[in-house]
Amino acid sequence: MFQKVKGFQDIYGEDCVYWQKAEKKVHRLFSLFSVREIRLPVVERTAVFDRGIGQTTDIVEKEMFTMPDGENDTLSLRPEGTAGVVRAYIENGLYNPPALKRYYYLGPMFRRENPQKGRFRQFTQSGVEYLGSASAFVDADVINLLMSYFETVGIADMLHLEINSVGCKVCRPAYQKKLITYFEAHKDALCEDCLRRLERNPLRILDCKQEKCRTVTKNAPLMLDNLCEECGTHFNNVQKYLKQFKVEYKINPLMVRGLDYYVRTAFEAVTDKLGAASAVGAGGRYDGLVETLGGPEIPGIGFAIGMDRVVTLMKEKEKLAESGAQVYIITFDDKSVEEGIKLLNGMRERGIAAEIDYDRKGLKNQMKKADRSGAKYALILGEDELSRNALTVRYLQDSTQVEMPLDKIFTDLQFK
Ligand code: HAM
């Protein structure tokens, strides 16, 4: 017997009810914020991610599913959505005419991570990208959208928002030097991974979960204390607007995101209900990414929500069940099948979910199946009733039943 691939999931049964609700809310809420859907390939040239996300990030270094394209290049399954949106934005000239463009996507992403609670190798993100504005006002409304989403699916009280500024190309290099000097002096106290990070991506040391590294990090210089004037003003303005949008937040000066394209605002919505996989949605500003991928100088900001994590939290909050048909149609001979199909079509045309028993193994057997189906009504087209141009309506919850003329069924039966 075959088994699914490690880190991949089969989603079925009532889980799909949660997924459908979570996804419906994405389309509804994001539209309310005037964000338009964009549907992109799950595969891009590997260089899009190498250049976009950054070669020294965990994602690009070790987590991408990469394959040869059969010619001289490699392709990768997308590990995230931002680089692809920016690629499409440039390729399709979507920056013309110049205006703020807002896109959202909903779909599978792939990362070869170690599977654990809330962490999969194929997972679903719903993401938003705003391209064309450097304003802190935009940052605040994007964060507002993220947090509003958690409200609409009923999990806002299980999360809190953390924000930080990661500086820009003006102030970050000097800060990075300071950080390296600091960690060089505390090399002995760092874990193996952080020693490697010190060479390749020193900011990531701030993010290390190892106790000994956290002790060193406590006294490390912070980006927030080393922002240039513009970044400082931008961060203050983001906070001012967040307050006006009534979005609560906490500053986490140690937050470093796992992707290299971020500048200035970075944010995460975190929970303590998912163990190590604590971010349910995260994002930030990425002025410079459009240029890095070969486009004009256009700023951007966005986020992505981990939908698998959303669904896990929703399940802790509410009980949703699969809804079956409302009506179960029971037939016997050819004549009753003919009437049954008319009823079936009529119900479906009126938006009433209906099913018919295809096996027709006697009344008792069909009634048992009707009960198990979860339907409210069984419509029984017996020979006797049909001879009177009628049928029996059985209310399955209390086993009461009435006879009703066939031509009155759509007008007289009250579907509760
Ligand atoms: P990210 O922080 O890498 O950002 O991922 C965003 C969210 O996706 C995470 O907070 C988490 O909920 C979910 N996620 C990530 N990896 C996994 C996994 N292996 N299994 C389950 N869920 C996962 C980005 O991807 C950026 N593209 C976000 C962004 C958009 N920034 C600007 N625009």
Query: How crowded is residue 328: how many other Cβ atoms within 10 Å of its Cβ?
Result: 26
CB atoms within 10 A of CB 120: 22
Q: Which residues face 327 on adjacent strands?
A: 354, 377
Amino acid (1-letter code) at residue 248: E
- Nearest Cα neighbor of 182 from 190, 191, 193 is 190
Q: Which atom of ligand 1 is nearest to the CA of 83?
A: 27
Q: By alpha-carbon position, which residue is closest to atom 1 of ligand 1?
A: 282
Asked if residues 285 and 235 have their Cβ atoms less than 8 Å apart, the reply is no
The response to whether residue 139 sits with its C-beta less than 6 Å from ligand 1 reads no
* Span from the CA of 196 to the centroid of ligand 1 (angstroms): 23
Tell me how far apart the alpha carbons of residues 216 and 182 are, in angstroms, rounded to a whole number: 9
Kindly write down the DSSP assignment for every residue of 212-234, as one continuous string: HHHHHHTTS--GGGG--HHHHHH
Closest listed residue to residue 337, CA positions, set 374, 381, 303: 381
Strand partners for 359: none
* C-beta of 281 in contact with ligand 1 (< 6 A): yes
Closest-CA residue, ligand 1 atom 31, reads 283
Exposure on the CB side of residue 170, measured as CA atoms within 13 A: 9
Residues 300-352 have pLDDT tens digits of: 999 999 999 999 999 999 999 888 899 999 999 999 999 999 999 999 999 99
Per residue in 217-260, pLDDT (tens digit) is 999 999 999 999 999 999 999 999 999 999 999 999 999 988 99
pLDDT per residue rounded down to tens, the chain (416 residues)? 999 999 999 999 999 999 999 999 999 999 999 999 999 999 999 999 999 999 989 999 999 999 999 999 999 999 999 999 999 999 999 999 999 999 999 999 999 999 999 999 999 999 999 999 999 999 999 999 999 999 999 999 999 999 999 999 999 999 999 999 999 999 999 999 999 999 888 999 998 888 999 999 999 999 999 999 999 999 999 999 999 999 999 999 999 988 999 999 999 999 999 988 799 999 999 999 999 999 999 999 999 999 999 999 999 999 998 888 999 999 999 999 999 999 999 999 999 999 999 999 999 999 999 999 999 999 999 999 999 999 999 999 999 999 999 999 998 887 65
Nearest atom (ligand 1) to Cα of 125: 8
Give the E-state strand segments of 230-340 in sequence order.
250-251, 263-270, 279-285, 300-306, 327-330
Distance 125 CA to ligand 1 centre (A): 7
